[in-house]
Amino acid sequence: MNEMILDIKQGIKGNRFLWAIILLLSLCSMLAVYSASLSLTKFQGDSTLYFLFKHVPYILAGLAIAWMVSNIDYTEFNKYAPIFLVISIGLLIYALFFGVNINNARRWIQLPFIDVTFQVSDIARIALITYVARSVSAKQDYIKSFKTSFMPIMLPILIVCGLIAPSNFSTSALLFVTCVLMMIVGRVSFKYIIILGFLGIIMFGLLIYLGHFMPDSIRVHTWISRINEFLGNEGGGYQIQQAKIAIARGGWFGVGPGHSMLRNFIPYSYADFIYAIICEEWGILIGGIGLIGLYTLLLFHCVGVVTKSPRAFGAMLTIGIGFSIVIQAYANMAVSLGVVPVTGLTLPFISMGGTSLLITSVAFGMILSVSKHISGLKLDENSDENERDHKISLDDESAH
């Protein structure tokens, strides 16, 4: 038991900065979900703690998963990346035809024998980022033709994003942008990145065309209606207008935890628009800017790991996951601020949602694994230097 406690302390100690960010996000998530879900519990006649008691076990499980994944050597992710990619493609195809239909979208698969569903795109995103990190790091020195860049890198990106897009365009677009940024960081020739962008536009254009003939399978009308609502209504649609009112009502210092009024008027205030509720209760200074700062610090941490990582795969994996989480967070907050149309993207590790939170925890664990390996190398280097210094001092003494 003591050895296990020491292992846990050692694991946390290796990445105190990132663990601090994760714990702060966890605390913010519990407070925000409890407050934003009060309107639901009152409406359903449940205890006001119902959704908090439902959410806290996922937070604790997520922290445990992050710690367990951080103890895995990150090179193992490199080894099994192709297998994870194939499995995720299979799950995406299954969800596309046989998935659970929620809000006219087949994004979820229900686990057998238990009443739990998970969103396949969350798994596919981690699998694709890991695979792209593997491919770019292994081939970056000899990607000199369309064949060597298209088959191992560009084709999997197009396949996965193409399978996600029919039911979840925003997640697909975010993942596509993340992969493009990874290719830029990995020094892939710019002409192949332009080709990938061109192929991506053709693919999304084809989906829009097919969506007019298959409205039940491809949610083109939802995409168009959201854009029209954003452009046609002054100040955005109803949800964005209510989110803006919540942020304005909060002002610089907020109305206080648990005192949100707009949670009763914003649909999905506990998920898609939780940032507006945080700003209303905690204010722009602490809630709004503070949350942006946490995600920005996470991105800085990932960039720092990239500059210190001795292996290209570790660097590419970290920056890919960092981009994915932070871009999604910025996109979610941009919706509440009325900068972009409604996307349906949640705020990573903050919004209420069980399986998505657990998969984000896996992503955090992978970053921790790379960072811990770098810290371990530094410790080994320092110990080697101490041994050399000690040996030199002994040699000097023996000479005297």
Q: Is residue 101 part of a domain?
A: yes
What's phi and psi for 117, nearest 5 deg? -115, 150
Given 182, 215, 230, which residue is the final one in a domain? 230
User: Could you tell me if 254 and 372 lie in one domain?
Assistant: yes
Q: Is residue 290 part of a domain?
A: yes
User: Could you tell me if 101 and 224 lie in one domain?
Assistant: yes
User: Could you tell me if 288 and 367 lie in one domain?
Assistant: yes
3-state SS assignment for residue 119: strand
DSSP H or E run through 117: strand 117-119
User: Could you tell me if 200 and 291 lie in one domain?
Assistant: no
Q: Is residue 30 part of a domain?
A: yes
Domain that holds residue 282: 25-71+233-377
Q: Is residue 162 part of a domain?
A: yes
User: Could you tell me if 226 and 240 lie in one domain?
Assistant: no
User: Could you tell me if 101 and 179 lie in one domain?
Assistant: yes
Task: With CA atoms as reference, report the closest residue to 335 among 326, 345, 324, 323.
Answer: 345
| Residues 133 and 182: beta-carbon distance below 8 Å | yes
pLDDT string in tens for the chain (400-residue length): 666 665 655 555 457 888 889 999 999 888 888 777 766 655 555 556 677 778 888 899 999 999 999 889 888 999 899 999 999 999 888 887 776 666 666 666 766 666 667 788 889 999 999 999 998 887 665 566 666 666 778 889 999 998 888 878 888 889 999 999 998 888 887 888 888 889 888 988 888 777 666 666 666 677 777 777 777 776 677 778 888 888 888 888 888 887 778 777 777 777 788 888 888 888 888 888 999 999 999 998 888 887 777 778 888 999 999 999 999 999 989 888 888 788 778 888 888 777 788 899 999 999 998 888 776 555 444 444 444 444 434 455 444 4
What's phi and psi for 399, nearest 5 deg? -65, -35
DSSP H or E run through 78: helix 75-98
Q: Is residue 114 part of a domain?
A: yes
User: Could you tell me if 51 and 150 lie in one domain?
Assistant: no
User: Could you tell me if 96 and 208 lie in one domain?
Assistant: yes
User: Could you tell me if 243 and 355 lie in one domain?
Assistant: yes
| Residues 147 and 339: beta-carbon distance below 8 Å | no
The string of DSSP codes covering 198-219 is HHHHHHHHHHHHHHTT-TTTS-
Q: Is residue 398 part of a domain?
A: no
End-to-end CA distance of the chain: 49
| Residues 148 and 142: beta-carbon distance below 8 Å | yes
Given 168, 195, 230, which residue is the final one in a domain? 230
| Residues 386 and 87: beta-carbon distance below 8 Å | no
User: Could you tell me if 281 and 175 lie in one domain?
Assistant: no
Count of structural domains within the chain: 2
- 101 forms beta bridges with 106
Q: Is residue 395 part of a domain?
A: no
Question: b/e per residue, 186-216, with b = 16+ CB within 10 A?
Answer: bebeeebbeebeeebeebbeebeeebeeeee
User: Could you tell me if 237 and 206 lie in one domain?
Assistant: no
User: Could you tell me if 212 and 246 lie in one domain?
Assistant: no
pTM: 0.85
